[in-house]
């Protein structure tokens, strides 16, 4: 029987039409080997020669770097700080897209995030945290979008694993809506909605994919996409910026685990992951609980007319089965 489920945070509805799919055929298909950008033409092999230098920050230093954050050579936003660049026309409003667009990369051309040594993955998160803190003090920044496009169908144009940070002078609409929903839940229940989710999922166990001392990975109760994963700190932290180092490293480790499981059990799909952080600028966002979302790209189906016209997603694999598959259990009939 199909089931309608409501997202506890947003109030959005999802249809779980699990009768449409048994064992997905793609699980048995031979996955094409991922094609790496040849080192000879990779723009991240010789950063100085390719014009991607000097770095914004590096570890351990610019000469011996293992991890480096560099300006994006083709940024989506501009560093132009001329606030007078406004193009209002009648009822329409526009403003300059002022911001910083940077790329975080590791030295190893062939190691994706799940393949990194835990220390290296944790250090990458430390550098992201440092950048988020730096932008929190920037008056032109309202939000820091941190994300990864992994694979060509997920938007990656370079095969060398890399991660992007893009600052905006506005708070994105999806973040605005999510913050409003979390604030409304706090006002009604006097609790954090995602703390309640962590507590409920650890008690139920059926949608838990993996957990460690500080972080948990779950298949969301009202998942909009097949094999979507949410990774949350177990303790309440409103922002990546305030995370203690040990807990930050545990979040990095949980992201590695989630990506390895998708590779092993879901035929290594292309995917996006992103950090859902609190806005910058010193506002009170104590009701927000930062987290990471991992979304495989069109694993089974592309949106059709129903989804486009109603904004109600149809998911043909229920989250309970998703979690079981990603735990390595054999659940297909």
Reported as a single tens digit per residue, the pLDDT across 175-212 is 999 999 999 999 999 999 999 999 999 999 999 999 99
In a domain, 279, yes or no: yes
Q: How many angstroms separate the CA atoms of 43 and 15, rounded?
A: 43
The model's confidence at residue 80, banded by pLDDT at 50, 70 and 90, is low
Task: Report pLDDT for 310.
Answer: 85
In a domain, 275, yes or no: yes
Reported as a single tens digit per residue, the pLDDT across 149-175 is 999 989 998 989 999 999 999 999 999
**DSSP H helices in the chain:** 118-136, 173-189, 193-204, 245-265, 305-310, 319-326
Average pLDDT, the chain: 91
The model's confidence at residue 19, banded by pLDDT at 50, 70 and 90, is low
In a domain, 18, yes or no: no
The model's confidence at residue 20, banded by pLDDT at 50, 70 and 90, is low
The domain spanning residue 281 has which CATH number? 3.30.428.10
Buried b (16+ CB within 10 A) or exposed e, 252-263: bbbbbbbbbbbb
- How many independent structural domains does the chain possess? 1
Picking from 222, 238, 224, the residue whose alpha carbon sits closest to that of residue 132 is 238
Task: Report pLDDT for 110.
Answer: 92
Mean pLDDT calculated for residue range 101-107: 96
In a domain, 22, yes or no: no
Coil, strand, or helix at residue 264?
Answer: helix
In a domain, 21, yes or no: no
In a domain, 99, yes or no: yes
In a domain, 16, yes or no: no
In a domain, 26, yes or no: no
The model's confidence at residue 112, banded by pLDDT at 50, 70 and 90, is very high
The range of the structural domain enclosing residue 80 comes to: 3-7+34-326
pTM > 0.85:
yes
Task: Report pLDDT for 172.
Answer: 96
16-30, 99-113, 285-299 — which is least confidently predicted?
16-30
Secondary structure in 3-state letters for 111-126 = CCHHHCCHHHHHHHHH
């Amino acid at each position: 029987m199909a089931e309608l489920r409501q997202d506890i945070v947003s109030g959005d509805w999802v249809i779980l039409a699990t009768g449409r799919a048994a064992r997905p055929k793609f699980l048995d298909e031979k996955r094409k080997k991922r094609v790496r950008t040849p080192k000879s033409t990779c723009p991240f092999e010789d950063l100085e020669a390719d014009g991607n230098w000097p770095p914004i920050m590096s570890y351990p230093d610019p000469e011996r770097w293992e991890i480096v954050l560099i300006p994006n050579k083709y940024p989506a936003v501009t560093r132009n700080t001329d606030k007078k660049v406004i193009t209002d026309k009648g009822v329409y409003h526009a403003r300059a897209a002022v911001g910083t667009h940077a790329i975080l990369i590791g030295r190893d051309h062939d190691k994706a995030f799940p393949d990194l040594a835990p220390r290296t993955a944790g250090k990458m998160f430390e550098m992201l945290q440092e950048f988020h803190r730096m932008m929190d003090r920037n008056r032109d920044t309202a939000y820091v979008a941190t994300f990864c496009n992994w694979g060509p169908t997920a938007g990656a144009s370079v095969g060398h694993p890399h991660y992007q940070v893009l600052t905006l002078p506005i708070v994105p609409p999806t973040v605005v809506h999510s913050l409003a929903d979390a604030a409304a839940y706090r006002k009604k229940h006097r609790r954090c909605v995602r703390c309640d989710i962590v507590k409920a999922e650890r008690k139920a166990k059926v949608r838990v994919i993996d957990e460690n001392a500080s972080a948990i990975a779950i298949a969301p109760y009202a998942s909009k996409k097949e094999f979507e994963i949410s990774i949350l700190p177990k303790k309440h932290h409103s922002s990546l910026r305030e995370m203690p180092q040990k807990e930050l490293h545990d979040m990095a480790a949980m992201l590695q685990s989630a990506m390895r499981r998708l590779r092993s059990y879901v035929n290594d799909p292309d995917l996006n992951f992103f950090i859902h952080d609190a806005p910058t600028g010193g506002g009170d966002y104590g009701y927000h609980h930062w987290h990471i979302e991992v979304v495989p790209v069109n694993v089974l189906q592309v949106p059709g007319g129903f989804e486009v016209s109603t904004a109600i997603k149809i998911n043909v694999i229920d989250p309970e089965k998703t979690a079981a598959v990603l735990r390595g259990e054999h659940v297909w009939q």
